[in-house]
């Protein structure tokens, strides 16, 4: 935590599973410092590999997402040896919280925007890798900003796109089980509107395939 | 529940487990005592589980295991209050064999039948035996790998494998390495022993996607190293375990941070692995949560867990009419209502 102490008045925003996030003042900008902390449970070598890989990739993917037309925080600085990313602080509300207090039509509106953004990422060969409603922030202007690209990758394959959407579906099921189906419908609606029915249907077919395979004993590998 | 307990302290449920290679029968009393937990494992002469041969094994050993269980518990069939069976998920022919035995017993004794979800049973026996109340559970076995936690009436799945199960990954690798499955010594245990002799980390794929993970790439890469590489089998076993266990641990930690629960439970066949236990223990410590692991005899598939979950369901009025007691090969844990938790 030494490096954080050097930044004036860093305040813990969130201690997640993977990273600690601090809000700080950095050259008179309000920033978020994301620090991937070492994990004692895994071998040091593996731990360092994983943390530096993600620290390098997250800003790259955030940058490319912007090019694809999906809002992400501006990156100010990356420090790989310390697994640190300094980025713009995004004002707004986590979509996770927002959905729980929103009306049905508000939920629809937000989820359509999410679907559109995911389609834009996929069209540009970007996979987010951790599509959950905690990783999306709605700004006061109504933009949806995507964060947390550490598990993302550049990949044009249908399979990867299917898994990406499947993960969002799973996240909706576990976090918003009261209205997950409705939210998913709206997401797919936005997704289809950007990609076109034909391309979108291919991805949906893939999702169905992903759900049918693996993890079920029936198909276990012999 | 305490009300029922008093009046029915002499009540017993017999549970039948047959979803994969183990055929097990357990007997649980309504107040949570396990009176018997007998089983017989089908060991293929070669390769993995052949569902039909395993089913035949189950049919052939059913009556022996049943007799052992009743003897061990010291009760007569007429003392039983209900018959529970593993209704899914699992291998079709295997599940059907257990279901047939269960239906026959229930109709003959004229007592209710209770279809139990195999995954729920692994969680419930873990809770019963460790005293965990509301844990984030990593259930890792030959056929399943998932991270669940209770939320509004059901166990929700927070993370799971997108392809093969953790135990399956270790088993297939072990077989590729020429290790043999012996009664009482699962292949995973053989990998664990070898891994203890290794220490050089071979770089292998590490694939976490959101809260889910993928193990098939890891298995393929490890197998390729086995056949073409220049690393020792010990180092490979070590590296396979470190990668695979780190992945499931990372996913478990995410679920723990997300749900903010204060307990971590490890259950299923792979729970026997000491290295996996120690990783989860570290994670629990860091989140000020209590770690527990299901005792060995209840880690692998067993009849006791079915019997105990049968008790919980029966006490909440859940029984399964014979004509709807067909097996459910892909019965997901998050589709099951668990009214006994509140
Ligand atoms: N740039 C940012 N501005 C404002 N809030 C952020 C920013 N980045 C992340 N957050 C908030 O912090 C939380 C955790 O950050 P995230 O990058 O998702 O890390 P983790 O790996 O812990 O999930 C997010 O869910 C989001 O609410
Ligand atoms: Mg996040």
Total residues belonging to chain A: 222
Phi-psi bin for B317: left (phi > 0), alpha (psi -120 to 50), beta? Answer: left
Nearest beta carbon to residue A16 from set B90, B208, B257: B257
Q: What CATH number does the domain containing B156 carry? A: 3.30.420.40
H-type helices in B197-232, by residue range? 216-228
The tokens for B53 are 């041969």
Strands (E), B152-301: 154-160, 208-209, 212-213, 263-267, 290-293
Whether residues A108 and A193 share a domain: the answer is yes
Q: Which of B126, B81, B116 is nearest to B297 (CA)?
A: B126
Question: How far B197 CA lies from chain A's nearest CA (Å)?
Answer: 16
Question: Is A130 tagged catalytic?
Answer: yes
Whether residues A56 and A97 share a domain: the answer is no
* CB pairs < 8 Å spanning A and B: 129
Q: Report the DSSP beta bridge partners of residue B116.
A: B86
How far is residue B191's CA from residue B199's CA, in Å, rounded to a whole number? 14
Whether residues A73 and A106 share a domain: the answer is no
Q: Looking at ligand 1, which residue's alpha carbon is closest to its atom 23?
A: A16
- A154 vs A15, higher pLDDT: A154
Average pLDDT over residues A140-144: 97
Residue A216: per-residue pLDDT: 39
Q: Is A189 on the interface with B (CB under 8 A)?
A: no
CA of B78 to the centre of ligand 2 (A): 56
Residues of chain A positioned with their CB less than 8 A from the CB of B46: none
Answer yes or no: is pLDDT of A6 > 60: no
CA of A99 to the centre of ligand 1 (A): 17
Looking at every residue in chain B, the average pLDDT score rounds to 94
Best mutation site among A11, A15, A21, A136 for ligand 1, i.e. most ligand atoms within 8 A of its Cβ? A21
Total domains present in chain B: 2
Q: Collapsing DSSP states into helix, strand and coil, what is residue B181?
A: coil
Whether residues B239 and B152 share a domain: the answer is yes
Answer yes or no: is pLDDT of A1 > 50: no
Confidence of residue B6 (pLDDT cuts 50, 70, 90): very low
Answer yes or no: is pLDDT of A117 > 60: yes
Confidence of residue B4 (pLDDT cuts 50, 70, 90): very low
Residue B7: per-residue pLDDT: 40
Please state the separation of Cα B203 from the chain's center in Å. Answer: 30
Residue B285: per-residue pLDDT: 97
Average pLDDT over residues B70-84: 97
Burial class (CB in 10 A: 0-12, 13-18, 19+), B304: buried
Whether residues A160 and A66 share a domain: the answer is no
How far is residue B204's CA from residue B217's CA, in Å, rounded to a whole number? 9
Residue A85: per-residue pLDDT: 97
Inter-chain touch B246–A41, beta carbons under 8 Å: yes
* Least confidently predicted of B19-23, B45-49, B116-120: B45-49
Whether residues A39 and A145 share a domain: the answer is no
Answer yes or no: is pLDDT of B125 > 50: yes
Nearest beta carbon to residue A214 from set B157, B163, B253: B163
Q: What CATH number does the domain containing A135 carry? A: 1.10.510.10
Inter-chain touch B163–A43, beta carbons under 8 Å: no
Residue A7: per-residue pLDDT: 63
Whether residues B214 and B253 share a domain: the answer is yes
Q: Give the model confidence (pLDDT) of A157-205 as tens digits.
A: 999 999 999 999 999 998 898 999 999 999 999 999 999 999 999 999 9
Confidence of residue B9 (pLDDT cuts 50, 70, 90): low
Instruction: Let me know if residue B94 belongs to a domain.
Output: yes
Q: What are phi and psi of B183, to 5 degrees?
A: -55, 125
The tokens for B74 are 């010291």
Whether residues B113 and B194 share a domain: the answer is no
Whether residues A35 and A136 share a domain: the answer is no
Instruction: Let me know if residue B48 belongs to a domain.
Output: yes
Total domains present in chain A: 2
Instruction: Let me know if residue B26 belongs to a domain.
Output: yes
Residues of chain B positioned with their CB less than 8 A from the CB of A39: 250, 253
Q: Report the DSSP beta bridge partners of residue B112.
A: none
A117 lines ligand 1 (CB under 6 A): no
Q: Looking at ligand 1, which residue's alpha carbon is closest to its atom 15?
A: A148
CA dihedral A50, A55, A58, A62 (to 10 degrees): -170
Residue A222: per-residue pLDDT: 38
Dmax (CA) of chain A: 60
Q: Which atom of ligand 1 is nearest to the CA of A58?
A: 17
Answer yes or no: is pLDDT of B330 > 80: yes
Confidence of residue B44 (pLDDT cuts 50, 70, 90): confident
A164 lines ligand 1 (CB under 6 A): no
Helices A180-195 and A158-175, packing angle to 10 deg: 150
Total residues belonging to chain B: 342
In this structure, which ligand is nearest to the CA of A134? 1
Average pLDDT over residues A116-120: 98
ipTM of the complex: 0.89
Whether residues B137 and B279 share a domain: the answer is yes
Whether residues A78 and A107 share a domain: the answer is no
A59 lines ligand 1 (CB under 6 A): no
Q: Which residues of B105-140 are buried (b: 16+ CB within 10 A; e: fewer)?
A: bbeebebbbbbbbbbbbbbbbbbbbbebeebbbbbb
Percent of chain A with pLDDT over 90: 84
A88, A107, A127 - which closes a domain? A88
Inter-chain touch A50–B161, beta carbons under 8 Å: no
Residue B1: per-residue pLDDT: 38
How far is residue A14's CA from residue B160's CA, in Å, rounded to a whole number? 25
Q: Is A9 on the interface with B (CB under 8 A)?
A: no
Answer yes or no: is pLDDT of B122 > 90: yes
Average pLDDT over residues B195-210: 95
Residue A217: per-residue pLDDT: 35
* Least confidently predicted of B177-186, B235-244, B249-258: B177-186
Whether residues B78 and B174 share a domain: the answer is no
**From A8, A130, A148, A164, the catalytic residue:** A130
Q: Write out the H or E segment, with its range, that includes residue B256.
A: helix B233-259
The chain A residue lying nearest B212, using CA atoms, is A167
Answer yes or no: is pLDDT of B333 > 80: yes
Q: Which of B265, B178, B262, B258 is nearest to B210 (CA)?
A: B258
Whether residues B88 and B202 share a domain: the answer is no
Confidence of residue B230 (pLDDT cuts 50, 70, 90): confident
The tokens for A25 are 């003042």
Per-residue DSSP letter, A89: P
Answer yes or no: is pLDDT of B91 > 60: yes
Whether residues A112 and A183 share a domain: the answer is yes
Q: Report the DSSP beta bridge partners of residue B150.
A: B155
Average pLDDT over residues B121-148: 97
H-type helices in chain A, by residue range? 2-6, 44-67, 95-101, 104-123, 158-175, 180-195, 197-212
Q: Give the model confidence (pLDDT) of B284-306 as tens digits.
A: 999 999 999 999 999 999 999 99
Q: Give the model confidence (pLDDT) of A91-102 as tens digits.
A: 999 999 999 999
Residue B243: per-residue pLDDT: 98
Instruction: Let me know if residue B6 belongs to a domain.
Output: no
The parent domain of residue B161 ranges over 123-298
Inter-chain touch A17–B256, beta carbons under 8 Å: yes
Average pLDDT over residues B138-146: 96
Average pLDDT over residues B44-73: 93
Whether residues A46 and A115 share a domain: the answer is no
Percent of chain B with pLDDT over 90: 89
Whether residues A13 and A119 share a domain: the answer is no
Q: Which atom of ligand 1 is nearest to the CA of B257?
A: 22
Residue A3: per-residue pLDDT: 53
Inter-chain touch A46–B283, beta carbons under 8 Å: no
Instruction: Let me know if residue B66 belongs to a domain.
Output: yes
Whether residues A178 and A146 share a domain: the answer is yes
Average pLDDT over residues B204-215: 94
The tokens for A180 are 């997950």
Confidence of residue A8 (pLDDT cuts 50, 70, 90): low
The parent domain of residue A22 ranges over 2-88
Query: What is each CA distance from B292 to B156, B265, B275, in whole angstroms?
Result: 20, 5, 14
CA of B117 to the centre of ligand 2 (A): 32
Q: Looking at ligand 1, which residue's alpha carbon is closest to its atom 10?
A: A147
The chain B residue lying nearest A174, using CA atoms, is B156
């Amino acid at each position: 935590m030494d490096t954080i102490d050097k930044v004036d008045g860093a305040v813990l925003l969130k201690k997640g599973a993977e990273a600690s996030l601090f809000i700080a003042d950095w050259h008179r900008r309000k920033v978020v410092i994301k620090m991937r902390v070492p994990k004692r449970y895994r071998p040091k070598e593996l731990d360092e590999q994983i943390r530096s890989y993600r620290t390098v990739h997250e800003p790259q993917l955030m940058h490319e997402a912007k090019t694809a037309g999906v809002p992400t925080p501006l990156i100010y600085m990356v420090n790989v040896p310390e697994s640190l990313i300094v980025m713009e602080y995004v004002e707004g509300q986590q979509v996770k919280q927002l959905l729980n207090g929103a009306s049905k039509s508000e939920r629809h509106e937000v989820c359509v925007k999410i679907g559109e953004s995911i389609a834009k990422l996929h069209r540009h060969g970007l996979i987010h890798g951790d599509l959950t409603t905690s990783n999306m922030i709605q700004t006061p202007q109504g933009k949806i900003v995507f964060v947390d690209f550490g598990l993302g990758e550049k990949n044009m394959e249908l399979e990867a796109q299917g898994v990406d959407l499947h993960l969002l579906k799973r996240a909706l099921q576990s976090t918003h089980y009261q209205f997950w189906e409705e939210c998913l419908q709206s997401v797919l609606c936005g997704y289809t509107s950007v990609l076109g029915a034909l391309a979108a249907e291919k991805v949906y077919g893939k999702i169905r395939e992903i759900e049918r395979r693996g993890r079920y004993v029936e198909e276990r590998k012999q | 529940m305490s009300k029922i307990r008093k009046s029915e302290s002499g009540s017993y449920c017999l549970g039948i487990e047959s979803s994969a290679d183990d055929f097990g029968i357990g007997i649980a009393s309504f107040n949570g005592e396990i009176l018997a937990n007998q089983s017989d494992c089908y060991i293929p002469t070669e390769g993995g589980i052949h569902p039909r041969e395993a089913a035949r094994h189950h049919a052939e050993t059913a009556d022996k295991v049943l007799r052992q269980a009743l003897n061990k518990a010291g009760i007569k069939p007429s003392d039983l209050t209900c018959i529970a069976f593993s209704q899914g998920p699992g291998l079709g022919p295997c599940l059907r064999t257990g279901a047939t035995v269960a239906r026959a017993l229930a109709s003959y004794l004229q007592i209710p039948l209770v279809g139990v979800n195999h995954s729920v049973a692994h969680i419930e026996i873990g809770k019963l035996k460790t005293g965990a109340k509301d844990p984030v559970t990593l259930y890792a076995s030959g056929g399943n790998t998932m991270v669940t936690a209770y939320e509004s009436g059901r166990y929700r799945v927070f993370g799971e494998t997108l392809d093969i199960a953790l135990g399956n990954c270790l088993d297939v690798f072990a077989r590729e390495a020429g290790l043999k499955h012996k009664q009482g010594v699962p292949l995973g245990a053989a990998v664990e022993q070898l891994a203890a002799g290794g220490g050089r980390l071979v770089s292998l794929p590490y694939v976490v996607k959101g809260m889910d993970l993928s193990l098939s790439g890891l298995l393929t890469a490890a197998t390729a190293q086995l056949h073409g590489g220049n690393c020792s089998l010990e180092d490979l076993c070590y590296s396979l375990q470190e990668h695979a266990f780190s992945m499931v641990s990372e996913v478990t930690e995410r679920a723990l941070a997300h749900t903010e629960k204060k307990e971590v439970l490890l259950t299923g066949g792979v729970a026997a692995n000491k290295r996996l236990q120690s990783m989860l223990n570290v994670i629990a410590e860091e989140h000020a949560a209590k770690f527990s692991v299901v005792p060995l005899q209840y880690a692998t598939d067993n009849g006791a867990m079915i019997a105990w979950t049968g008790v919980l369901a029966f006490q909440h009025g859940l029984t399964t009419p014979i004509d709807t007691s067909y097996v459910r090969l892909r019965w997901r844990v998050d589709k099951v209502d668990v009214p006994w938790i509140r």
